[in-house]
Amino acid sequence: MAITRQVITSLQRDGTDALGTRTVAMKIVDESIVSGSLLTVESNHFCILKSRGAVLNVYETGQYALQTPDKPLVGSVVQGFFGGSSPWVYEVIYINRSKLLVRNEGIATSAEMAEMSYVVDYYIHIDSKEEALDLITHMPFAGAVIDTKEIADYAGPAIEQAINQIIQITKMENVNERISDVREAVKAHLTDFLKVYGIMLNDLKVLIMPRDERMRELISLQAIGLSPIEAVRYYLALRMADKGLVSAPNAAAGVPFQIGGQPTGFYPLGDEVGATR
């Protein structure tokens, strides 16, 4: 962000966008903003001008000479009279209208009360000037920016509720069979929730898996056709093989491990074998 010669822009001195791919909205407050200041709005932004809490205008792509309530006085005269600053403090808020990626992670419980980890990735964007106004009206600034992490924090409870409504009545081994139902439920809940903030939901992906790594491996073994007891044996054999134990194949086959060769019979020891008495 740079304010030079009363030109307000979201571009930094090195040409990069101050909003980037993680910032939804950015607020600039500066006493040098007066009538006649040039406001530049990039093609992927909206811009809102506020003063004393009131919205003065919403701008789309282009460059604009600001018309503020101090218009009866020329901007430079106002600055000179008040020692280089304006008696009116204006807020310039840039809104990112690009598609932004947001991620939510959490824990749900299956019908057996087994913990299941979920990851929800989704794209959002602000589509119109009206939605940009809804965003700054309903979502407060905790600092100078609103980023995708704050969006995820707001959306987290809605996503968790939608997932738990289905997962809590589904057995762990059947969760993946209902992933489409989970996705549609999350999409419906999240669309309605974000709409209040003027945010449109685009693509959405849901991934659910057992939280415990051992359970994930056991389920994978059953998926290749092993019975539950065979899956446990093969899991044990894999862990034993990682430790370099030679008895790992016996664990997989479910047979005992014998140290040395199997006995084949009993033989007497006499003089013919050189045994001493």
Residues 116 and 176 in one domain: yes
Q: Is residue 61 part of a domain?
A: yes
Question: Is 90 exceeded by the pLDDT of residue 107?
Answer: yes
> How far apart are alpha carbons 87 and 96 in whole angstroms?
29
pLDDT (tens digit per residue) in 63-95: 998 876 655 444 454 445 445 445 567 889 999
Residue positions counted in the chain:
277
Residues 111 and 142 in one domain: yes
Of the two residues 145 and 2, the one the predictor is more confident about is: 145
> How far apart are alpha carbons 57 and 35 in whole angstroms?
13
Residues 83 and 37 in one domain: yes
Q: Is residue 117 part of a domain?
A: yes
179 is written with which tokens? 């992933």
Out of 96, 129, 147, pick the residue that ends a domain: 96
Amino acid 272: pLDDT: 61
Residues 38 and 16 in one domain: yes
Q: Is residue 204 part of a domain?
A: yes
Q: Is residue 261 part of a domain?
A: no
Residues 127 and 26 in one domain: no
> How far apart are alpha carbons 194 and 102 in whole angstroms?
12
Amino acid 274: pLDDT: 61
Number of domains in the chain: 3
Rounded percentage of the chain residues whose pLDDT exceeds 70: 84
Q: Is residue 207 part of a domain?
A: yes
Choose the weakest-confidence range: 171-175, 181-185, 197-201.
171-175
Query: Stretch 132-161: mean pLDDT, rounded?
Result: 94
Host domain of residue 13: 2-96
Of the two residues 115 and 82, the one the predictor is more confident about is: 115
Residues 184 and 145 in one domain: yes
> How far apart are alpha carbons 150 and 78 in whole angstroms?
38
Site of tokens 């309605």: 192
Question: Is 60 exceeded by the pLDDT of residue 260?
Answer: yes
Out of 73, 96, 119, pick the residue that ends a domain: 96
CA distances to 182, 236, 238, 249 from 257, rounded to whole Å, are 47, 14, 16, 9
240 is written with which tokens? 């034993």
Contact 39, 59 (CB under 8 A): yes
Tell me the average pLDDT of the chain. Answer: 84
CATH number (domain holding residue 153)? 3.30.479.30
192 is written with which tokens? 């309605």
Residue type for 170, please? T
Q: Is residue 260 part of a domain?
A: no
Residues 201 and 105 in one domain: yes
Q: Is residue 277 part of a domain?
A: no
Residues 78 and 138 in one domain: no
Residues 165 and 179 in one domain: yes
Out of 96, 121, 137, pick the residue that ends a domain: 96
Residues 114 and 205 in one domain: yes
> How far apart are alpha carbons 235 and 219 in whole angstroms?
10
Residues 88 and 154 in one domain: no
Checking 133-138 for CB contacts under 8 A at 24+ apart, the result is 133/48, 133/55, 133/58, 133/198, 134/196, 134/197, 134/198, 135/24, 135/25, 135/95, 135/197, 135/198, 135/199, 136/25, 136/48, 136/93, 136/95, 138/196, 138/197, 138/198
Query: Stretch 208-233: mean pLDDT, rounded?
Result: 83
Q: Is residue 224 part of a domain?
A: yes
Residues 92 and 143 in one domain: no
